[in-house]
Amino acid sequence: MPISTSTIYSVASYRYPAQFPPYVWDALWSRERDANIMLPHALKCSEKEQLDGQSWIVCTTQLNAHFPSVDFILSCTEGPLGNYPIFIFSNIPSSQLTESYANPRLREMARELHRLVPSQRVFSVFAPESLTFMFAHWWCELTGISPARDPEYYAATFSHCTRSSIINRRMTYIPGMSYNIRIAVEKDQAAIARLCKAFAATSEPFLLSDEGAWREAGMLIRNEQIWVHEISEGGCAVDIASIVAYTRNSDHVSAITKVYTNPKWRKRGCAERLVRAVTQHLLRTKDSVVLYVSHGNPAAKVYNKVGFVGLRRNAEQFEGVDRWLELGFDRRSTILGHW
C-alpha cells in the first residue's frame, strides 16, 4: 500500500560516498539489485575517498526518533568516458510510491543540485519513469532549460535473472557452423572496438569515436568484463560475432550493460548463446544478474529465453521489474556526457 505523505524530510549533499552516514549505505545494500545503477560506482568512489566532479544528494524522512529513512539518492558523477547522466535511486518500491510523497522531495533535490553544479552539467536524468518526469519538471523550471528536441533518450524495462529463473536450454546446432564462447583477450581489442562503436551508434546521442571505442574496448578487456562469441562458417576464418559486457558489479549483483551482434551473424542464436553463458558464469557467484532492455527491442525475446523476468507483459508479477526512463535536456544549453 502507498506510504504516508510525511512532511518531515530533509536533503543533504556529499562530495564523495566516503562521507555517507551508515544509514545511507544500509539503504543501498538493502536494495542492492535496485541500486545497481548507483551502488557499484559509489563503492569505487568510496575506495578512492576523494574525487573531483562528484556530487551525491540524499533525501531522508524522519519517521521516528532513531535514524532517518532514506527516500532517494541522486548521483551526479563521471565515468571513464565522460560525465554520467543524473541517476536517481529510490529506496521505496514503485508500487508504494505516490506522487504527493515524491514530488516535493525531488523538488528539493533539484534545488540542491542546482546549487551544487552548473546547469549545463545536467544533460539528462535516468530514473524510474515517474521520478524522471517529476525531477525533469522541476529542473526545467529552476534552470529555464527546455527538454531536448527528442527528449526520450532511453526508455527501458529493468529486469533480472536469478538461479531460479534461468533457463538452461540446449540450442539447435546449425550444420557447417562452429562456435566458441570465451572471455575477451588483448588480441580482440580491434574487433571489440568496432562492435562497441556499432553498439553506440544505436544509442543516440551517446555515440563513440574510433578513439573512444578503442579506449572502451581496452578498458573492458583489462578489467575482464567482456566476453565474445566466436563463429566460423564452412571452415572459413573465425570472426567475433557477438559481445556481452558486464560493468556494474557488487557483492551479490552484476549487470549486463552491453550486448551487440554483428549484423552479418544475426539470426544464428549468437546473442542468446552468449548472454546465457555469461549469465550462468555470473550466477556462480552472484544472486542476480540485471539488465535494462529498451521498450520494443527485439532482444527482449532473447533475454526472456535466457530467464530474465517481466519481459512478456507480466512485469507486475515480479518485484523490482520497473519501467525506467532517461530524459535529455536541450543540447544547446548542456554538455553531453557518456555512459
The total number of structural domains in the chain stands at 2
By C-alpha distance, which of 182, 158, 186 is closest to 295? 158
Domain that holds residue 260: 177-308
Average pLDDT over residues 90-95: 91
Q: What is the pLDDT of residues 133-166, one digit of tens each?
A: 999 999 999 999 999 999 999 999 999 999 999 9
Q: At what angle do helices 189-201 and 210-222 cross, to 10 degrees?
A: 120
One-letter amino acid identity for 75? S
Q: What is the pLDDT, as a whole number, of residue 46?
A: 85
Average pLDDT over residues 36-42: 97
**CA angle in degrees (0–180, nearest 5) for 101-323-276:** 140
3-state secondary structure (DSSP) of residue 316: helix
CATH number at residue 210: 3.40.630.30
Q: What is the pLDDT, as a whole number, of residue 105?
A: 97
Q: What is the pLDDT, as a whole number, of residue 176?
A: 81
Cβ count within 10 A of residue 314? 10
CA 172, 177, 182, 183 torsion: positive or negative?
Answer: negative
CATH number at residue 77: 3.40.630
Yes or no: say if 309 and 161 are a contact pair by the CB < 8 Å rule: yes
DSSP per-residue codes, 230-267: EEEETT---EEEEEEEEEEE-SSEEEEEEEEE-GGGTT
One-letter amino acid identity for 311? L
Tell me, yes or no, whether 149 and 115 share the same domain. yes
Tell me, yes or no, whether 153 and 181 share the same domain. no
Cis peptide before 17 (omega within 30 of 0): no
Tell me, yes or no, whether 137 and 65 share the same domain. yes
Residue 316 falls inside a structural domain:
no
Q: What is the pLDDT of residues 252-303, one digit of tens each?
A: 999 999 999 999 999 999 999 999 999 999 999 999 999 999 999 999 999 9
Tell me, yes or no, whether 151 and 183 share the same domain. no
Residue 337 falls inside a structural domain:
no
Q: What is the pLDDT of residues 107-138, one digit of tens each?
A: 999 999 999 999 999 999 999 999 999 999 99
Residue 171 falls inside a structural domain:
no
Residue 166 falls inside a structural domain:
no
Average pLDDT over residues 171-197: 92
Tell me, yes or no, whether 78 and 109 share the same domain. yes
Cis peptide before 151 (omega within 30 of 0): no
Give Cβ neighbours of residue 223 (< 8 Å, ≥ 6 apart). 247
Q: What is the pLDDT, as a whole number, of residue 289?
A: 98
Tell me, yes or no, whether 201 and 146 share the same domain. no
Tell me, yes or no, whether 14 and 153 share the same domain. yes
Binned at pLDDT 50, 70 and 90, residue 171 comes out as confident
Tell me, yes or no, whether 14 and 133 share the same domain. yes
Which helix (H) or strand (E) covers residue 157, if one does?
strand 147-162
Binned at pLDDT 50, 70 and 90, residue 50 comes out as low
Binned at pLDDT 50, 70 and 90, residue 73 comes out as very high
Tell me, yes or no, whether 210 and 129 share the same domain. no
Residue percentage of the chain with pLDDT more than 70:
97
Tell me, yes or no, whether 261 and 197 share the same domain. yes
DSSP state of 188: G
Tell me, yes or no, whether 247 and 185 share the same domain. yes
Residue 187 falls inside a structural domain:
yes
Residue 201 falls inside a structural domain:
yes
* Cell output for 15: 562530495
Query: Mean pLDDT, the chain, as a whole number?
Result: 93
Average pLDDT over residues 207-214: 97
Residue 96 falls inside a structural domain:
yes
Tell me, yes or no, whether 152 and 200 share the same domain. no
Residue 94 falls inside a structural domain:
yes
The radius of gyration of the chain from alpha carbons, rounded to an integer in Å, stands at: 21
